[in-house]
Amino acid sequence: MPPTLLARWATPWLMAASLLAPAYAEEPVVNLYSARHYATDEALYTGFTKATGIKLNRVDADDAGIIARLKAEGEASPADVILLVDAARLYRGEKDGLFKPIQSQALNAAIPENLRSQPTADGGIFWFGLSTRARIIVYNKAHVQRDDVDTYEKLADPKNKGKLCIRSGSHPYNLSLFGAVNEHMGPEKTQAWLNGMVANMARDPKGGDTDQIKAVASGECQIAVTNSYYLARLMRSSKPEDVAVANKVGAVFPNQQSWGTHVNIAGGAVARYAKHPDNAIRFLEYLATPEAQNYFANGNNEWPTAKGVHPDNPALKAMTGGKPFKSESIPISAVGAHMGAIQQMLDRAGFK
């Protein structure tokens, strides 16, 4: 067939194919690796798809498992967006080259500077904090005076000898707290503080944060350290035994007269080798909207990070007396930088 006839024959078919192409286009998706294992987050994911039309595929694991998986998968990783629940792990993922720095006016406007990574030379951000949880002290109201535990330093005071319960020192929640204390007090005082806490323990570290609260309520120990949302869950529980535990303990937001209470974050990042980076950014931007931020607050008893969002969570209000508490203002990224030194301090203190 002569070329001119071939072109005349083929053109209508090419035009038809171009009209049909959208029907066969790839469905918009975003692939999420998430360390958030909270059932209430399902509403977040459903809300995102409803708002954007982007399908969300999810893989659940803990922070360490996600970091290990990203390293193993390398450039072949299908991950687009990462959610982790600890500042130190977000910092580690950034330093290991697992995240892509992004530019987002919406996220920069919503999330305070101290709750996101340090910017690159061109203003790119590796990760953003999307919710916060306070590392608070709980105490047995029948046996301990509030003033005896109103700072983190007092956890190591000899007057609290034999009273302290705490989970493993190597757990990320504690490592981040210890890293923050090191930022505030310096290594020498932090080492002495860790030594003092070990001397004050009622038992060896074990269990999770809820176990520490229950141990205080039962009298196994008198004071403990926990993330705020674990206590809020007990306060809002439909089980009478959980409410009874919550009623026996008081909650302190430490260091209100000095640097403020340590807060950790759950945060998000775009994966370095994201195949759908624009969709990943849209997902993170959605998580900073008032709608999503209120899910964090009311679904999992966390505080929003986005400016101007004020949740109506009765447990959070009860813990703070309905007033804002003073939280530390150090860059959360600084906490991760101390992890190696903190682990060595724990080893020297014999903190299990």
Can you tell me the distance from the alpha carbon of 164 to that of 246, in angstroms, rounded to the nearest whole number? 18
DSSP state of 102: B
User: DSSP alpha helices (H): ranges in the chain?
Assistant: 3-20, 42-52, 63-73, 87-95, 105-110, 172-185, 187-200, 209-218, 228-236, 240-248, 277-287, 290-300, 314-320, 332-336, 339-349
Residues 160 and 211 in one domain: yes
The residue type at 300: N
**pLDDT in 10s for each residue of the chain, 352 residues:** 444 433 443 443 333 333 333 434 468 999 999 999 877 788 889 999 999 999 999 999 999 999 999 999 999 999 999 999 999 899 999 999 999 999 999 999 999 999 999 999 999 999 999 999 999 999 999 999 999 999 999 999 999 999 999 999 999 999 999 999 999 999 999 999 999 999 999 999 999 999 999 999 999 999 999 999 999 999 999 999 999 999 999 999 999 999 999 999 999 999 999 999 999 999 999 999 999 999 888 888 999 999 999 888 999 999 998 888 999 999 998 888 889 999 999 999 999 9
**How many structural domains comprise the chain?**
2
In a domain, 302, yes or no: yes
Residues 37 and 116 in one domain: yes
Which tokens sit at 139?
A: 């105490």
In a domain, 288, yes or no: yes
Q: Residues 276, 120: contact at Cβ < 8 Å? A: no
**Count of other CB atoms within 10 angstroms of residue 285:** 20
Residues 208 and 248 in one domain: yes
Residues 66 and 186 in one domain: no
Q: Is 337 exposed, middle or buried (CB count within 10 Å of its CB: 0-12, 13-18, 19+)?
A: middle
pLDDT of residue 104: 98
Can you tell me the distance from the alpha carbon of 110 to that of 236, in angstroms, rounded to the nearest whole number? 29
The residue type at 327: S
HSE (side-chain half, CA atoms, 13 Å) at 276: 21
Q: Is 255 left (phi over 0), alpha (psi -120 to 50) or beta?
A: left
Q: Is 37 annotated as a binding residue?
A: yes
Concatenate the DSSP letters of all residues of 240-285 into one string.
HHHHHHHHHEEEE---TTTT-B-EEEEEEEEETT-SSHHHHHHHHH
Can you tell me the distance from the alpha carbon of 314 to that of 3, in angstroms, rounded to the nearest whole number? 76
DSSP state of 307: T
Residues 343 and 220 in one domain: yes
Residues 179 and 246 in one domain: yes
Can you tell me the distance from the alpha carbon of 237 to that of 217, in angstroms, rounded to the nearest whole number? 16
In a domain, 146, yes or no: yes
Q: Which of 176, 187, 177 is nearest to 91 (CA)?
A: 176
Q: Is 230 annotated as a binding residue?
A: yes
Residues 72 and 221 in one domain: no
pLDDT of residue 32: 98
Residues 271 and 292 in one domain: yes
Q: Is 123 left (phi over 0), alpha (psi -120 to 50) or beta?
A: left
Question: The dihedral of CA 268, 269, 274, 276: what is its sign?
Answer: positive
Can you tell me the distance from the alpha carbon of 62 to that of 66, in angstroms, rounded to the nearest whole number? 6
CATH assignment at residue 343: 3.40.190.10
Residues 232 and 83 in one domain: no
Question: The dihedral of CA 99, 90, 116, 266: what is its sign?
Answer: positive
pLDDT of residue 140: 98
Residue span of the structural domain in which 227 resides: 133-261+332-349
Residues 183 and 300 in one domain: no
Residues 173 and 287 in one domain: no
Residues 103 and 157 in one domain: no
Q: Is 152 annotated as a binding residue?
A: no
pLDDT of residue 37: 81
In a domain, 44, yes or no: yes
Q: Residues 215, 221: contact at Cβ < 8 Å? A: yes
For 63-106, write each residue's pLDDT tens digit.
Answer: 999 999 999 999 999 999 999 999 989 999 999 999 999 999 99
